[in-house]
Structures are given as C-alpha cells and as structure tokens.
C-alpha cells in the first residue's frame, strides 16, 4: 500500500453535496420570502379594514357636523329669546350643543389616529414588497448556481489530474459553500428577518402608545420604527451585494465596483477603501466582469478579515487590449514563500485568472501589507 495514499471522493459526489447545500440555502431564503408575503397579505387586509373604518367615520363626521349646526342654531335661538324658554329648555340647548361638539372632536381624533396608522401600513407594505423582490432575485441567482452545478461543473474534474488535488479542492469548496450558507442564513435571520419581526411587534404598540402617552410619544415610536425598517433594507441590500450585485449585469464592472467598495467601507467603518479607475469605463464580456469582480472582492475581504487592514487601495485600468488591477493594503502581511496547509484562497484566485489566460502575483512582507497584481488580456 502506497504511503500517504488517500481515499478521495469523486467530483460527482462533491457536486451532489454542493447541490444539497445550495438547495438548503435556497429553501431558507424561500421560507423568509413566504413569511414576508404572509405579512404583506396581513398588512394589506389590515389596511383595507382601516380604510373601511375611516370611510364610516367620515360619514359619521358629516352627520355630526349637520347635527352640531342644528344644535348651534337652536342654542342661538334660545340665547336671543332667552325669556321665552324655561330654564330646563335653556340648559338642554346648551348641553345638546356641547355634546355634539364633543362627539365631533372624538370623531376627528379617531380619524387622525387611523390616518397615521394607514400611512404607517402603506410604508410597511412598500418595504415588504422591496424585501420580497430582493428575496426573489436571490432565489433566481441561486437557481443560476444550481444550473451551473448540475451542468458545467460536470467537467470540473477534468482539470485535476490527481485524486489528492480533487479531494483537497472539493472539500474546501464544500466547506466554503457550507460556511456561506450558514453566514447567509445567520445574517438574514439575525438581520432583516429579526428586524421585520420587531417591526410587526412595534407597530402593534403604536396605537397603545397613542392612547396611553399621547401623540408626542407616538411620534417618537413611529420614528424608531422607520429607522428599524431602513436598517433592515440596508442589511438586505448588503447581503445581495455580497452574493452578486445586480448592477454588475446592468451597469458593468466600474460602477458596480465603485458602489460595492463604498458599501463595504460603510459596513466596515474602521477601514478606509479607496477606488481609482485610471482607464476606460466600458463594458466587458460577462466572464471578465464577473471574474474580475470576484477577484477584487476576495482580495478586499482578505485584507479586512485576515490582514486587519485599515486602508485599502483598489486601482483599475481598462484598455482596449487588457485589464490591470492592483489591490494594496496596509495590513499585517504574510510570507508568500510559506505555504499554509488548508489555505486555498490564492489557489482559487490563480485558477480563476488562469481561466482568463491572465496573470496574478502576490507581494507581501510581514508587517508591511500586501499587494495583489492582476493582469488579464482581452481577446476579441
């Protein structure tokens, strides 16, 4: 028996595990989407009920105004001919006018309260629609990944000649995919999903706060609710950007990178990320835009997560014949000659660049930061 002989899984087995993992991620997002749809229907029904109540209050208000006019007319008549009415009739005229005034005031307060509730529900419905649309887009993107895993990845094993390489890379892919699934599920659960659940609870408190503490406290509660919804929307957008920015297909590499790096900088507020484009701002074929975006994304994430960089510079240059990218950071650095077991980050990046017939180099020293240089020729 050969030394160091390893029992490896076939690429097909690895692919099946990846498909199972992606399927679980898709199910999680679908479940969140369905919860949002249910909340949307509940809020929509509640809004219809409020509109019906408001319509009824408007009718009652019109009737009360008419009765109040009659009561005031009667009171005016009594006041002008005071001697022609008994004390009981005078008191009754005053009390009747006062009661109608109070009833109309209460009617107005109810309408104002329902109007605020209606506005809050309409805003909530808008946010829910946005969340549902984002979830649908995520599901669509995952479906693309599934198609890739079920078709194109069948040829993946041909690129590797030894069983050891197949096992190491396959296990790393599964581990990364599983970690990504856990991260996405955790971020959605702890972020947007939790915030939306809190929105539901907090929204039910608004009416109670209005009754018990008055409009000032209610206004503060509504402001807090709006802030929570904005935070949920921000988290959803950030998660979508981490998976794949939709702007990459619509706007191209340069605008998407600019927005993505700005978003990452805002999220990691302890780090400064600078982006400079010194070349052409033109569209590239999809395979170049996606690969270059992923390479830059991984380099920046490595600088933030592993190098603890406080400053990152990304310089992009697109010409008619090639694309050059330099990612520099002031992080802790590493020794490029020292290979760490189980480290596949640079291997994966080299593989991606090789597919584009390009070159990638890593320059780094301990305590002196890291520079990643990428050069990709553009073929017609």
Find which of 150-154, 181-185, 212-216, 347-351 is predicted with most confidence, using mean pLDDT: 347-351
CA torsion 120-121-122-125 (nearest 10°) is 130
**Considering only 39-48, 107-116, 173-182, 275-284, which range has the smallest mean pLDDT?**
173-182
Dihedral pair phi/psi, residue 310, rounded to 5° = -100, -10
Q: What pairs with residue 326 in β-bridges?
A: 315, 373
DSSP one-letter code for 315: E
Cα(171)–Cα(134) distance, integer angstroms: 30
Q: Model pTM? A: 0.44
pLDDT band with cut points at 50, 70 and 90 for residue 71:
confident
Sign of CA dihedral 172, 174, 180, 183: negative
With a pLDDT cut of 70, the percent of the chain lying above it is 75
**pLDDT of 89 over the 60 cut:** yes
Cβ contacts of 380 within 8 Å, gap of 6 or more? none
pLDDT band with cut points at 50, 70 and 90 for residue 3:
very low
Average pLDDT, whole number, for the chain?
A: 78
Tell me how long the chain is.
380
Chain-centre distance for alpha carbon 191: 9
Give the mean pLDDT of 89-98: 82
pLDDT (tens digit per residue) in 326-349: 999 998 888 777 765 545 567 778
């Amino acid at each position: 028996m050969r030394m160091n002989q390893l029992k490896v899984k076939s690429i097909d087995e690895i692919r099946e595990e990846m498909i199972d993992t992606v399927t679980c991620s898709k199910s999680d997002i679908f479940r969140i989407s369905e919860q949002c749809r249910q909340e949307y229907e509940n809020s929509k029904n509640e809004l219809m009920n409020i509109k019906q109540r408001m319509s009824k209050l408007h009718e009652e208000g019109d009737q009360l105004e008419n009765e109040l006019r009659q009561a005031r007319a009667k009171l005016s008549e009594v006041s002008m001919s005071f001697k022609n009415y008994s004390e009981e009739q005078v008191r009754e005229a005053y009390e009747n006018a006062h009661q109608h005034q109070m009833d109309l005031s209460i009617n107005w307060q109810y309408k104002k309260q329902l109007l605020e509730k209606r506005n809050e529900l309409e805003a909530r419905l808008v946010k829910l629609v946005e969340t549902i649309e984002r979830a649908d887009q995520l599901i669509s993107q995952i479906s693309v990944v599934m198609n890739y895993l079920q078709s194109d990845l069948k040829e993946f094993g041909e690129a590797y000649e030894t069983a050891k390489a197949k096992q190491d890379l396959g296990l790393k892919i599964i581990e990364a995919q599983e970690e990504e699934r856990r991260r996405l599920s955790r971020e959605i659960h702890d972020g947007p999903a939790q915030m939306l659940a809190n929105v539901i609870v907090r929204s039910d408190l608004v009416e109670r706060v209005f009754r018990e503490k008055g409009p000032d406290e209610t206004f503060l509660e509504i402001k807090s609710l709006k802030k929570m919804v904005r935070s949920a929307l921000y988290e959803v957008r950030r998660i979508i950007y981490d998976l794949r920015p939709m702007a990459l297909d619509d706007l191209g590499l340069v605008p998407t990178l600019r927005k993505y790096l700005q978003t990452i900088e805002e999220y990691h507020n302890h780090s400064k990320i600078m982006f400079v484009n010194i070349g052409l701002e033109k569209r590239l074929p999809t395979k170049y835009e996606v690969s270059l975006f992923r390479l830059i994304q991984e380099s920046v994430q490595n600088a933030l997560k592993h190098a603890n960089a406080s400053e990152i510079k990304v310089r992009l240059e697109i010409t008619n014949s090639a694309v050059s990218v330099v990612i520099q950071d002031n992080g802790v650095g590493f020794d490029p000659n020292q290979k760490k077991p189980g480290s596949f980050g640079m291997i994966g990046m080299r593989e991606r660049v090789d597919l584009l017939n390009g070159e990638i180099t890593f320059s780094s020293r301990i305590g002196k930061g890291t520079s990643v240089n990428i050069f990709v020729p553009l073929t017609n």
